[in-house]
Structure 1
Amino acid sequence: MSSSSRRRRVIRTVIGLAAVLVLSVAGAGAWFYHRLDTNITTFDAGGVATERPPAPVPVTPGASVPVNVLLLGSDTRNDGNADLGGGDEGVGHSDTAILLHIYADHKHAVGVSIPRDTLVTVPSCRLPSGDWTKPRTNQMFNEAFTVGESAQGNPACTQNTVEALTGLRIDHTIVVDFKGVAAMTEAINGVDVCVPNDVNSHNIKLKKGQQKISGQPAVDYLRARYGFGDNSDIGRMKRQQAFLSSMIRKIQSQGFSLPTLLPLADAATRSLTVDEGLGTAMKLVDFAQSLQQIKLSDITFVTAPWRFSTVQKGRIDLVHPDVDTLWQLLREDRTLDGQATGELPGAASASTAPATSEPSPAASPLTAEQLATPVTVVNGVGTDGLAGRGSAAIRAQGFQNVALGQTTGGRLRTEIAYDPPFKAVADQLAALFPGSRMTEEPGSEGITVTLGRDYHPTATATAGPATGAPAVPFAASAEPTGPLPTDVPTGIAENSRTADTDPCSNLT
């Protein structure tokens, strides 16, 4: 055989081996991704409200926009979680809730902890049967997750509740259980935390001091409420914020390459429930990689401004106007001191923002008791988002007890029906809806605003999936509702920490 023939045979052999190697690697990679994808549990988008806050519009076509991610920690004991959390199987609760706002520049982020005991309005939510509940006022925030009494929880209902509360459109929702926490911390070889004192309470034992934890100890650290400080859920949220900061620091130190992220994704996907937009391993990895430019010093955790409730003992009320300012800052994609990072079109500056997006009532200011009057907003036209905009205008005036009634249709003129004791409040609402007709309805125990074709809001909410879900009011319009601060409001500053804060600081 000539030397040239031998060279051709060697070349063919090398090419063949290379092809086999490439196919083997590709096949293994495809198998791995398929395994991760089959691990992931997604929740049905059919439970997401049809009437939602509008999606942000990019400054220019193709430009980045803010991303809002709702992180929920489920305390379900099903599917082996009882081995880590103790207790019996049953209905899952969302005892941890963090709304993560990633700014349009993808270089800044704010994580807002919402106390589980916060009294909120839980809007209409879908049950496993397909039926929809009626809105309920003065409910604990974590009860939204229990609607339908499923061990897996109801992430869509909690998402609807957060959108109604904040006026922010949630792009993604992620639910992690005890097994997920244990697996992810083990996948990154532990997280550095600080335990402020020895803990031996409710079957949880932790030693004082800085230490690296993973698996069961990590679950215990995040769950523990008693044995720290005043045994409050607020203190527990501070430790959860410090834990997440440390976890982010660890992931950043290891890098955002596939060899680092895929084992983490493998661990996470076995215990995650996500929306369909994050329903594959590569979508999760791509999302994680999109955050790699955010520095620890540019991540802020804040607990929504709160106080102990005056309505129900042991519960939490959000503090106004500080919490309203917080939601407005995030809707306008501004930092907590009112600065723009990736300004959205139409966002007014702090010095030029109008007082409200709707006309203000001309009458005397209402009392706190009057502002607690039950107000039901009905879409009397059928136009998607109309009742949500009307609800937003009413909430912008300080009303706290606003719910949505069933859509009717065919109404030409807006009508305000009121129980006679609430006439002064109805008069205030009439100023928001010029030309509306006032009707007494004795015994109605509140006020019903039925919007007609004469109502023209300044903008219309973006409708969600066409699922047949009842519309759900959201708390505020996407337009400015008042002047923004030039520094951080006290109620926000006192409840904040940056991700690079000393891990032993302010933990109780």
Structure 2
Amino acid sequence: MAGSRKASGRRRGGGNGAAGSGRPRRRGKAKTWLAVVVSLLVLLAAGAGWIYIRLDGNIKTFAADGVSDDRPAASAHGSNVLVIGTDARTDGNSELGGGDKNDIGRSDTAFLLHTYADQKHAVAVSIPRDTLVDIPACKLPDGTWTKPQANTMFNAAYSVGQTAKGNPACTQNTVEKLTGLRVDHTVVVDFKGFAKMTEAVGGVQVCLPQDVYQKDLNPNRSTRGAQIFAKGPQTVSGQKALDYVRIRHGIGDGSDIGRIKRQQAFVASLLKKVKSDGMSPTSLLPLANAATQSLTVDPGLGSADKLISFALSMKNVDLHNTKFVTLPWRYQGARVAIVHPDAEALWAALKADRTLDGQSTGSHREEQADAASPSPGATESVSGQGVAVAVYNGTTITGLAARAADALKRHGFTVTGTGTALVRTQTRTVIEYGPGEKDQAEKVARVLTDAEATAAAAPGVKVILGKSYAADPVAPTSGAPSAVPSEIAGGARSADDDPCSNLSYG
């Protein structure tokens, strides 16, 4: 018994004369908790790693070999991301959008997002799907390249090649040719991806200017059907969110331009929701998981860390300084034509990293000021008041005469008519003028790229446009404004605007 008690005492005391102190037990307990914490950290790290692997597995990329070699130079100031919303019904999207499940679709929605160098400002420029543009050569599935297409609807670029995956590289080529800006990244979102993203953020607040019924979404219905939306503000997600951005008929003038206004309001509201939830990896992961399941991106965004890093790079962009505008446009029959030189002024502002009101941002203000200073002999404006001119297209490029006529009218010239020249192989633009009209011809030359004034026997000023004008319509001495026209800047939507304001064109 006594031996048992001594042995027991030695076990309790641990042989250090501190029997009953409990310090070894506390150290053991601390070690246990440390092991638990380390284990949890390892599990969390492994879990995060698993999430990133899962996201990587979700992301689909399109081949970079379809991007043109003839591209605008990369800019050190700001970045440009092309976002394409496709109405393809393939890959299960017909369940959300209806229609033929084999329909590869077109680019139903597209906007170019310019994030400024200071990462505090951004502008999204919507490009109407019906805009008449020149589509450059694009790669086909068999490896060959198409011939350029002139005066073609913008959304047709996405379906070049008629593949189920679409042709985002062709749309990117078209945007680069249209804007003169290099597209740094391209993202394609389909119906499923859009619906899942809105669910991941817990819904997006939108506003309707009136009650909306099934017939407004599907004009082929014989009756107006059930009510889909009530007038006023509400939160939508999934199918309801998709229905909101797709509605066109029955609201405003039923045009795609009006729908663009509501889509801009929706994206603004989505950005507001994401920023209010906090732009941290933790809050972004559910959104990223939903988005990547149906995103197609260029190889430069083809991994989870690149995609999330890109999203986090925009966390300091101020909502009020995030603007939405539409490419300057006018109706041309049932299609949309670009208004010149307003469009060129917009692209020039973004290329120079200037805000819509002409202000410079970032640390390169002085550099931009020097670059923006007019060269010797250049004038800040050209007045065509009192000058009459006829414009002829000396190339095979459709719509060139109308484009030049718009530019001349903007400077006050009177355009007496447009037409096609007898010779259509003109390389350089020629301006013919009659006796005593040299000064008038020189004014015209200051508006048009690479133009040469030539004396002629017949009276009057006549322009024969060459291919050089098609390649670069804005002459360096034409006095392109430092800010976009006031009606464009003034009509811009900010991401923090009331979601019920400015919802429809017409």
When the two structures are superposed, what TM-score results if normalisation uses the length of structure 2? 0.75
State the shift of 1:21 in Å.
2.2
How far apart, CA to CA, are the structure 1 residues paired with 2:155 and 2:187? 15
Quote the residue 1:103 is aligned against.
116
State the shift of 1:18 in Å.
3.4
- Structure number with higher relative contact order (C-alpha < 8 Å, ≥ 6 residues apart): 1
Quote the residue 2:343 is aligned against.
323
How far apart, CA to CA, are the structure 1 residues paired with 2:252 and 2:501? 13
Quote the residue 1:388 is aligned against.
none
- Aligned residues of 2:123 and 2:322 also touching (Cα < 8 A): yes
Q: 1:501 aligns with which of 482, 494, 497?
A: 497
State the shift of 1:206 in Å.
2.2
**Which residues of structure 2 form unaligned runs of 5+?**
1-10, 15-21, 219-227, 379-386, 407-419, 432-444, 453-464
1:492 has 2:488 as partner: yes
- Aligned residues of 2:160 and 2:167 also touching (Cα < 8 A): yes
- Aligned residues of 2:82 and 2:110 also touching (Cα < 8 A): yes
Quote the residue 1:242 is aligned against.
265
**Which residues of structure 1 form unaligned runs of 5+?**
58-64, 358-363, 377-393, 401-417, 435-445, 450-472
- Aligned residues of 1:120 and 1:139 also touching (Cα < 8 A): yes
Q: Structure 1's 7 and 279: CA in aligned 2 closer, same or farther, altered over 3 A?
A: same
How far apart, CA to CA, are the structure 1 residues paired with 2:429 and 2:46? 70
Q: 2:357 aligns with which of 334, 337, 361?
A: 337
State the shift of 1:135 in Å.
0.5
- Aligned residues of 2:197 and 2:290 also touching (Cα < 8 A): yes
State the shift of 1:252 in Å.
1.0
State the shift of 1:352 in Å.
2.3
Q: Structure 1's 348 and 368: CA in aligned 2 closer, same or farther, altered over 3 A?
A: farther
Paired residue secondary structure (2:192): helix
- Aligned residues of 1:145 and 1:154 also touching (Cα < 8 A): yes
How far apart, CA to CA, are the structure 1 residues paired with 2:377 and 2:471? 16
Amino acid at match of 1:28: G
- For 1:5-404, list aligned pairs within 5 A: 9-10=28-29, 12-57=31-76, 65-89=77-101, 90-200=103-213, 201=215, 203=217, 205-309=228-332, 313-342=333-362, 343=364, 347-348=368-369, 352-354=373-375, 367-370=390-393, 373-374=395-396, 398=404
Paired residue secondary structure (1:421): coil
Q: 1:428 aligns with which of 427, 430, 435?
A: 430
How far apart, CA to CA, are the structure 2 residues paired with 1:297 and 1:448? 41
- Aligned residues of 1:53 and 1:474 also touching (Cα < 8 A): no
- Aligned residues of 1:66 and 1:333 also touching (Cα < 8 A): yes
The worse-fitting range, judged by mean Cα deviation, of 348-357 and 188-197 is 348-357
Amino acid at match of 1:421: V
Q: Structure 1's 197 and 419: CA in aligned 2 closer, same or farther, altered over 3 A?
A: closer
How far apart, CA to CA, are the structure 2 residues paired with 1:420 and 1:263? 62
How far apart, CA to CA, are the structure 1 residues paired with 2:154 and 2:282? 38
Paired residue secondary structure (2:117): coil
- Aligned residues of 2:217 and 2:247 also touching (Cα < 8 A): no
How far apart, CA to CA, are the structure 2 residues paired with 1:355 and 1:246? 47
When the two structures are superposed, what TM-score results if normalisation uses the length of structure 1? 0.75
Q: Structure 1's 75 and 423: CA in aligned 2 closer, same or farther, altered over 3 A?
A: closer
Q: Structure 1's 103 and 12: CA in aligned 2 closer, same or farther, altered over 3 A?
A: same
State the shift of 1:258 in Å.
1.8
How far apart, CA to CA, are the structure 1 residues paired with 2:388 and 2:311? 47
How far apart, CA to CA, are the structure 2 residues paired with 1:218 and 1:356? 55
- Aligned residues of 1:366 and 1:425 also touching (Cα < 8 A): no
Amino acid at match of 1:292: K
- Aligned residues of 1:355 and 1:483 also touching (Cα < 8 A): no
Q: Structure 1's 116 and 354: CA in aligned 2 closer, same or farther, altered over 3 A?
A: farther
State the shift of 1:115 in Å.
0.6
State the shift of 1:13 in Å.
3.8
Which protein has the larger Cα radius of gyration, Structure 1 or Structure 2? 2
**Cα RMSD (Å):** 3.4
How far apart, CA to CA, are the structure 2 residues paired with 1:333 and 1:481? 20
Which whole-Å deviations, capped at 9, do the CAs of 1:228-254 have from their partners, x for residues lacking one?
110000000000000111111111111
How far apart, CA to CA, are the structure 1 residues paired with 2:49 and 2:145? 40
Q: Structure 1's 488 and 40: CA in aligned 2 closer, same or farther, altered over 3 A?
A: same
Amino acid at match of 1:499: A
Amino acid at match of 2:347: W
Paired residue secondary structure (1:320): coil
Percent identity over paired residues:
50
Which whole-Å deviations, capped at 9, do the CAs of 1:56-111 have from their partners, x for residues lacking one?
13xxxxxxx30101011010111111111111121221010110000000110110
State the shift of 1:319 in Å.
0.3
Paired residue secondary structure (1:70): strand
Q: Structure 1's 198 and 349: CA in aligned 2 closer, same or farther, altered over 3 A?
A: farther
